[in-house]
Amino acid sequence: MSTHQMGFRPRSLMMVLILFEVFFNISAISKNASFDQNYQVTWGRDRILFFKHGREVQLSLDQSSGSGFASNAYYGSGFFQMKIKIPDRDSAGVVTAFYLNSNVGVHDELDFEFLGNRPGKDIVLQTNVFANGLGGREQRTLLWFDPTSDFHYYKFLWNQHQIVFYIDDIPIRVYKNEKVTGVIGYPHRAMQVIVSLWDGSNWATDGGKTKTNWSNAPFQAHFQDFHIDGCPSNPNIPNKDCYSTKYWWNKKNYWQLNRHQKKSYDNVRKKYMNYDYCTDKNRYHIPPPECLEE
């Protein structure tokens, strides 16, 4: 968002910098790094293709194997994004995942998971949060666009105050640190960025009732923009500097959604959320504390 679009006419460089800090648009962060700068193949190497000089990656899944890649480093906070185009046709049972995972010791994890799509049916994006080894915080959103036809951004903002899940520039989920109590915890362990395409037919689509149709294989997902804004941290020796405000995502204006983001957030949840663990009384007779309204 430019200062002219916001109706301002700054008179000095200092004013421009102040406005940029306050009204910073997250979409401007992208630097579209090549794959090798931040990532490495972790499995299914023979099912991975590179295009555009390493600036686009295709993962494939067939009945024998899927494929995936992960960041070279672990991070203790940051902003993580990926441009994704998921498999088309009937991809029931096929899971396209973009997530952060601690991998070492007690489990922390943040998930974007596409749960496979059947022709004519809504495409479901699931998010989840694990902290201190506990998950069960699924939320599902019906998408208002076709994620098989073009790339869209999926983003995590993670600091010591909140975790925000974005689709493009729209926040679809917020997990606040100050709401978490006791053993529930807040993700604070160093995490690796992971991307994978795999067979989840035993659970992903219609709770596992609709299986993968392998006659449609190979299933292919495409990924772009491999830049990472993160604070590197050893998973065995946490980097305490990762909470420093020298990193833009830790600064005060990222401790909560701004007014415009909150409006978009409320709108998308009202129109497109079709499952929320916070309202699932069969699983949680008493809503978890992080589910309380702000």
Tell me the pLDDT band of 32, cut-offs 50, 70 and 90: confident
pLDDT category at 15 given cuts 50, 70, 90 is very low
Q: Is the pLDDT confidence value at 21 over 70?
A: no
Angstrom distance (rounded) from CA 236 to CA 75: 12
Q: What is the mean pLDDT of residues 271-286?
A: 95
Q: What is the pTM of this model?
A: 0.89
Q: Residue 183's pLDDT is what? A: 67
Share of the chain above pLDDT 90, in %: 77
Instruction: Report which of residues 126 and 18 the model is more confident about.
Output: 126
The reply to whether CATH 3.30.870.10 applies to domain 26-287 is no
Tokens in use for 124? 């479901």
* 113 part of the active site: yes
- What one-character-per-residue DSSP string does 225-244 give? ---EEEEE--SSS--GGGG-
Instruction: Examine the residue annotation and report whether 138 is marked as an active-site residue of this protein.
Output: no
Report the pLDDT value the prediction gives residue 20, as an integer from 0 to 100.
41
Distance CA 166, CA 271 (A): 16
Choice among 113, 138, 178, 290 that is catalytic: 113
Please tell me which residue in 21, 109, 178, 294 is annotated as part of the active site: 109
Q: How far is CA 275 from CA 109, 184, 265, in A?
A: 19, 21, 15
- Pair 106, 133: CB distance under 8 Å: yes
* Domain residue extents for the chain: 26-287
171-200 per-position pLDDT tens digit: 999 999 988 876 678 999 999 999 999 999
pLDDT tens digits, one per residue of 94-133? 999 999 999 988 999 999 999 998 888 888 999 999 999 9
* Integer CA distances (angstroms), 42 to 48, 72, 154, 222, 235, in order: 10, 10, 21, 16, 18
Q: How do residues 44-67 score in pLDDT, each as one tens digit?
A: 999 999 999 999 999 999 999 999
Measured in whole angstroms, the distance separating CA 72 from the mean position of its chain's CA atoms is 18
